[in-house]
C-alpha cells in the first residue's frame, strides 16, 4: 500500500460515482445515496493519499500502459500534488454529505436529467484529481479537457434557461482558449526538452526569450481558468447558474487546480524565474484582488456576489506567488518560500470558506428559492444553524482572527513587508503599493459581508417565501458544519499546517523555512520572532475567555429587558420596506469608486393627475456592469463577427467556385512540397 495506490482508489471511486448515477433517472435514490457515498469515499481516500504524500516527502511514480502504444501515461504523487489532492478531497467529502438533501428539490421537481448531473459530477472530480497526478503533458491535457468539458455540462445543467446556456457557452469558449494557450506553453518547453514527460521538461535548456514566451502562455491559460482579471468574465456568469454544490466545487477547488498547474509549470518545470514574471503576477494579482471585491460589492445576487469574491481571493493567491517569484529571482529564496507558503495556505483556506459560503447560499436557495438579497431578511430566525455556519464563513473570508482567512493574508503581508531587502528601487516602491491594495481589499471584503449577512439573515423577512422558510436537513448542515469546523481549526493551529506545507518549497526551491514554526505550535514566526509573531491559540483563548466572562456576569446579574417596538420616526409601524437593501448599503462605495463600473442609474417618478406636485410612486433602476465587457470582450466579439462575415463571402454557393478553390489549393501545396 502506498499513497499512489490510495490515489488510484480515489479515481476509481469518482468514476464509479458517475457510473452509478446513470440509473438515477429511473431510481433517484442512486444519485442521492449511492453516488454520494462513493463521492464521500473518494474524498476520504484523496485526503489520506494527499496527506500521506505530503508528510512522506517522497515522490511516488508510476507508468500506465494507456493511450497510444508508444506513449504511456506517466503519473506522479509528490508533496505539491499531494497537498492539492487533500484540498480537493476535503471539499468533495463535504459535498458528499450535502448533496443528498440539496438534490431533493431536483427529485421533487421531476427533473429528468439527474443521471447527467451525477455522471458529469463524477467525471469532473475524476478530471481534477487526474490533473494533479499527471507527470507528462499528454496526460495533463487529457485530464484538463475532461475537467473542463464535464464541468461545462454541469454549468449547462438547467439548460431550459437562456442565461444558463449563454453562461455555459462562454465558460466552454474561454476554457478552450485557455487550454490552447497551456498546450502551446507545454509545446515550447517540450521542444527544447525533447519529450512530453515532465522529467524531460525539467532538463530543457531554454533561453530567457523562449522561457518568457512559455511563461506568458501558461500564465494566460491557467490565469483564465483561475479567474484573474481581466479574463475573469466567465466566472460570475458560470458559478451562479450551476447547482450550488457544483458551484462550491468549481470555486473552491477547480480554481485551485489551475493554481496548481501554474505553480507546477513555473516553479518545477520552467525554473530560472525572472523578476519581470513575478512583477507581472503581482500586479495582476493586486488588480484582481481590488476589482474582484469592488465588483462583488455591487451584486445583490448571492451566488454571483460569491463568484466575484473568488476573483478577489485568486488575486490574493497570485500576489503571494508573485512575491515569491520576485524574491527568488533576487537571490532571497527563504523569502520566496514565505510567499509561496502564503499562497498555498490561502489556496487551502479559500477552498474551505468559499466552499462553506456556496453551500450556505445553496441552503438559503433550497429553503427560500430566492437568489436576490433584497428579497431576503430575517433568516437567522428561520435557519439558525445555517446562519451560524454562514457567519463563520463570512468572518473567515473577511480575514478576521482567529479564523483561517486571517493567517494566510497575514503571511502575505509579512512577505510584502520584506521589500526593503530588495536591491531594485522600483520593486521596493511597487510592493508596498500592492500590500496597501490588499489591505484596502480586506476592509472592503469585510464591508461586503456585513452587507450580505445583515441583509440576508438579520431584520425581518422581505417576502412570503422567506418568512416561511425551514431549516435544511441534517446532511446539508453536516456538510456546512464540517467546513466551518475546519475554518476554525486551521485558523487556531496554523503552525501545524504550515509545518507540513514547508515540504513544498523544500522540493521546489531546495530550502525549508526554519523559523515559521521554530517556537512550536503555539507561535507562528514567519521571518523571526524579533520581526513578527502571531499566536492564534492565544487569540482564540482570549476571545473565548471574554465570551465566558460576559456570560457569567450576565447570569450572575440578570438584566431586565423591556420589550418594545423600535423607533419608527413617526411614520407608523415598521415594515420590511424600511430596511436597508443590498443596493442602498453599497451606495456610498459605488459613489466613491464610480470610475470602476459602467453604472446606469435612473429614478422614475409618477405624479398625481389632479395634483401634479404630489408624487404617487418612485422607482429606482440601477444597472452596474463590469467594464471588462465593454472594454475587452465586446470589441473582440465585434472583430470576430466582422471577420466571420468577411470569410463568409467565399461561400458563394457555386460548385465551380469551390472546384477552383480546390484546384488552386492543390497547386499551392504541390509547389510548397516540391
pLDDT in tens, 143-176: 999 999 999 999 988 888 888 888 888 888 888 8
* Residue 111 confidence (pLDDT) above 60: no
| Residue in the block written with cell 463568484 | 307
Which region, left, alpha or beta, applies to residue 510 given φ > 0 means left and ψ of -120 to 50 means alpha? left
Within 298-378, where are the H helices? 302-329, 333-368
Confidence at 637, pLDDT banded by 50, 70, 90: confident
Answer whether 22's CB lies under 8 Å from 118's CB: yes
More confident residue, 517 or 452: 452
pLDDT digits (tens, 9 = 90+) for 309-328: 999 999 999 999 999 999 99
Q: Which residues contact 447 (CB under 8 A, 6 or more apart)?
A: 297, 589
Determine what percent of the chain is predicted with pLDDT higher than 90: 50
* Residue 555 confidence (pLDDT) above 80: no
Question: Lowest mean pLDDT: which of 226-235, 362-371, 459-468, 512-521?
Answer: 512-521
Helices and strands in the chain, H and E counts: 30, 4
Give buried/exposed letters for 175-193 (b at 16+ CB in 10 A, else e). beebbebbbbbbebbbebb
* CA 618 vs CA 209, 457, 582: distances in Å: 61, 27, 18
* Residue 587 confidence (pLDDT) above 80: yes
* Residue 118 confidence (pLDDT) above 60: yes
User: Which letter does DSSP use for residue 461 in this model?
Assistant: -
Cα dihedral: 469, 473, 479, 485 (round 10): 80
Query: What pLDDT was estimated at residue 108?
Result: 60
* Class of residue 553 by CB neighbours under 10 A (exposed 0-12, middle 13-18, buried 19+): exposed
Task: Please compute the mean of the pLDDT values over residues 363-390 and round it to a whole number.
Answer: 91
Answer whether 534's CB lies under 8 Å from 421's CB: no
Segment holding 404, helix H or strand E: helix 404-416
pLDDT digits (tens, 9 = 90+) for 223-259: 999 989 888 888 888 888 889 999 999 999 999 999 9
Q: How far apart are CA 433 and CA 437, in angstroms?
A: 6
* Of 17, 15, 90, the residue nearest 50 (C-alpha): 90
pLDDT digits (tens, 9 = 90+) for 472-482: 999 999 999 99
Tell me how many degrees the CA angle 642-221-305 measures, rounded to the nearest 5: 85
* Residue 586 confidence (pLDDT) above 90: no
Task: Please compute the mean of the pLDDT values over residues 110-117 and round it to a whole number.
Answer: 73
Confidence at 598, pLDDT banded by 50, 70, 90: confident
Answer whether 124's CB lies under 8 Å from 46's CB: no
* Residue 599 confidence (pLDDT) above 60: yes
Query: What pLDDT was estimated at residue 658?
Result: 83
Answer whether 321's CB lies under 8 Å from 473's CB: no
Cα dihedral: 586, 589, 590, 596 (round 10): -130
Query: What pLDDT was estimated at residue 110?
Result: 52
Query: What pLDDT was estimated at residue 674?
Result: 65
Phi, psi of 517 (to 5 degrees): -125, 25
pLDDT digits (tens, 9 = 90+) for 401-437: 889 999 999 999 999 999 998 888 889 989 999 999 9
Q: Which residues contact 497 (CB under 8 A, 6 or more apart)?
A: 345, 348, 490
Query: What pLDDT was estimated at residue 173?
Result: 86
Give buried/exposed letters for 460-487 (b at 16+ CB in 10 A, else e). ebbbeebbebebbeebbbebbbbbbebb
Q: How far apart are CA 479 and CA 488, in angstroms?
A: 15
* CA 97 vs CA 43, 89, 169, 255, 392: distances in Å: 11, 13, 30, 22, 19
* CA 213 vs CA 191, 197, 205, 382, 484: distances in Å: 13, 20, 14, 55, 42
3-state class (DSSP) for residue 194? coil
Confidence at 511, pLDDT banded by 50, 70, 90: confident
| Residue in the block written with cell 512575491 | 323
Beta-sheet pairing, 60-64 with 73-77: antiparallel
Which region, left, alpha or beta, applies to residue 220 given φ > 0 means left and ψ of -120 to 50 means alpha? alpha
Is the bond preceding residue 531 a cis peptide, omega within 30 degrees? no
Paired with 517 in beta bridges are none
3-state class (DSSP) for residue 463? coil
Q: Which residues contact 123 (CB under 8 A, 6 or more apart)?
A: 14, 15, 18, 146, 150
What DSSP assignment string belongs to 121-189?
A: HHHHHHHHHHHHHB-BHHHHHHHHHHHHHHHHHHHTTTTTSHHHHHHHHHHHHHHHHHHHHHHHHHHHH
Confidence at 483, pLDDT banded by 50, 70, 90: very high
Confidence at 287, pLDDT banded by 50, 70, 90: very high
* Of 109, 108, 118, the residue nearest 154 (C-alpha): 118
Maximum Cα interatomic distance, the chain, rounded to a whole number of Å: 100
Confidence at 624, pLDDT banded by 50, 70, 90: confident
Question: Lowest mean pLDDT: which of 96-105, 131-140, 481-490, 649-658?
Answer: 649-658
Task: Please compute the mean of the pLDDT values over residues 18-32 and round it to a whole number.
Answer: 83
Query: What pLDDT was estimated at residue 583?
Result: 82
Query: What pLDDT was estimated at residue 515?
Result: 63
Phi, psi of 626 (to 5 degrees): -65, 125
3-state class (DSSP) for residue 322? helix
Task: Please compute the mean of the pLDDT values over residues 567-582 and round it to a whole number.
Answer: 74
Q: How far apart are CA 28 and CA 24, in angstroms?
A: 4
Which region, left, alpha or beta, applies to residue 303 given φ > 0 means left and ψ of -120 to 50 means alpha? alpha
pLDDT digits (tens, 9 = 90+) for 177-211: 899 999 999 999 988 888 888 999 998 888 999 99
Most confident of 445-454, 573-582, 654-663: 445-454
Amino acid at each position: 500500500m502506498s499513497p499512489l495506490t490510495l490515489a488510484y482508489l480515489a479515481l476509481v471511486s469518482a468514476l464509479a460515482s458517475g457510473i452509478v448515477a446513470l440509473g438515477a433517472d429511473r431510481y433517484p435514490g442512486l444519485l442521492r445515496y449511492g453516488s454520494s457515498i462513493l463521492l464521500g469515499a473518494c474524498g476520504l481516500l484523496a485526503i489520506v493519499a494527499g496527506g500521506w504524500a505530503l508528510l512522506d516527502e517522497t515522490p511516488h511514480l508510476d507508468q500506465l500502459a494507456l493511450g497510444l502504444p508508444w506513449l504511456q501515461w506517466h503519473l506522479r504523487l509528490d508533496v505539491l500534488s499531494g497537498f492539492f489532492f487533500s484540498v480537493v478531497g476535503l471539499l468533495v467529502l463535504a459535498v458528499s454529505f450535502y448533496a443528498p438533501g440539496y438534490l431533493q428539490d431536483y427529485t421533487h421537481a421531476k427533473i429528468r436529467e439527474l443521471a447527467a448531473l451525477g455522471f458529469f459530477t463524477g467525471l469532473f472530480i475524476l478530471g481534477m484529481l487526474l490533473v494533479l497526478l499527471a507527470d507528462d503533458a499528454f496526460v495533463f491535457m487529457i485530464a484538463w479537457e475532461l475537467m473542463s468539458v464535464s464541468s461545462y455540462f454541469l454549468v449547462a445543467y438547467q439548460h431550459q434557461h437562456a442565461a444558463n446556456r449563454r453562461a455555459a457557452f462562454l465558460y466552454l469558449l474561454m476554457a478552450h482558449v485557455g487550454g490552447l494557450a497551456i498546450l502551446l506553453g507545454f509545446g515550447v518547453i517540450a521542444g527544447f526538452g525533447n519529450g512530453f514527460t515532465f522529467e524531460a521538461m525539467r532538463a530543457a535548456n531554454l533561453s530567457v526569450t523562449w522561457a518568457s514566451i512559455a511563461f506568458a502562455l501558461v500564465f494566460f491559460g491557467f490565469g483564465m481558468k483561475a479567474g484573474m482579471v481581466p479574463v475573469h468574465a466567465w466566472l460570475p456568469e458560470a458559478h451562479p447558474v450551476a447547482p450550488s454544490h457544483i458551484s462550491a466545487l468549481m470555486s473552491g477547488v477547480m480554481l485551485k487546480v489551475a493554481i496548481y498547474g501554474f505553480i507546477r509549470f513555473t516553479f518545477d518545470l520552467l525554473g530560472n524565474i525572472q523578476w519581470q514574471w513575478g512583477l507581472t503576477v503581482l500586479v495582476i494579482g493586486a488588480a484582481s484582488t481590488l476589482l474582484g471585491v469592488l465588483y462583488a460589492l455591487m451584486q445583490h445576487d448571492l451566488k454571483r456576489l460569491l463568484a466575484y469574491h473568488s476573483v478577489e481571493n485568486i488575486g490574493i493567491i497570485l500576489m503571494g506567488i508573485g512575491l515569491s517569484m520576485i524574491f527568488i529571482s533576487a537571490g532571497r529564496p527563504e523569502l520566496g518560500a514565505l510567499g509561496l507558503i502564503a499562497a498555498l495556505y490561502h489556496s487551502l483556506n479559500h477552498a474551505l470558506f468559499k466552499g462553506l459560503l456556496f453551500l450556505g447560499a445553496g441552503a438559503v436557495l433550497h429553503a427560500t428559492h430566492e437568489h436576490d438579497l433584497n428579497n431576503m431578511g430575517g433568516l437567522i430566525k428561520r435557519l439558525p444553524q445555517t446562519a451560524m455556519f454562514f457567519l463563520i464563513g463570512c468572518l473567515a473570508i473577511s480575514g478576521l482572527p482567529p479564523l483561517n482567512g486571517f493567517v494566510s493574508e497575514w503571511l502575505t503581508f509579512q512577505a510584502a513587508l520584506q521589500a526593503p531587502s530588495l536591491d531594485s528601487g522600483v520593486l521596493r516602491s511597487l510592493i508596498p503599493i500592492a500590500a496597501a491594495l490588499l489591505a484596502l481589499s480586506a476592509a472592503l471584503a469585510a464591508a461586503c459581508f456585513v452587507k450580505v449577512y445583515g441583509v440576508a439573515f438579520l431584520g425581518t423577512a422581505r417576502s412570503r417565501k422567506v418568512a416561511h422558510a425551514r431549516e435544511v436537513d441534517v446532511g446539508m448542515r453536516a456538510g456546512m458544519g464540517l467546513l466551518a469546523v475546519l475554518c476554525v481549526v486551521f485558523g487556531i493551529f496554523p503552525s501545524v499546517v504550515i509545518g507540513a506545507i514547508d515540504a513544498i518549497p523544500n522540493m521546489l526551491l531546495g530550502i525549508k523555512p526554519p523559523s515559521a514554526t521554530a517556537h512550536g505550535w503555539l507561535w507562528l514566526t514567519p521571518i523571526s520572532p524579533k520581526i513578527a509573531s502571531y499566536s492564534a491559540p492565544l487569540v482564540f483563548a482570549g476571545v473565548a475567555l471574554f465570551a465566558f466572562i460576559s456570560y457569567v456576569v450576565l447570569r450572575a446579574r440578570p438584566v431586565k429587558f423591556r420589550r418594545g417596538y423600535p423607533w419608527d420616526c413617526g411614520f407608523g409601524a415598521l415594515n420590511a420596506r424600511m430596511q436597508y437593501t443590498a443596493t442602498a448599503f453599497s451606495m456610498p462605495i459605488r459613489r466613491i469608486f464610480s470610475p470602476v463600473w459602467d453604472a446606469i442609474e435612473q429614478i422614475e417618478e409618477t405624479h398625481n393627475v389632479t395634483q401634479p406636485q404630489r408624487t404617487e410612486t418612485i422607482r429606482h433602476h440601477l444597472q452596474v456592469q463590469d467594464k471588462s465587457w465593454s472594454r475587452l470582450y465586446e470589441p473582440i466579439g465585434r472583430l470576430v463577427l466582422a471577420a466571420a462575415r468577411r470569410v463568409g463571402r467565399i461561400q458563394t454557393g457555386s460548385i465551380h467556385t469551390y472546384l477552383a478553390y480546390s484546384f488552386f489549393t492543390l497547386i499551392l501545396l504541390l509547389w510548397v512540397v516540391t
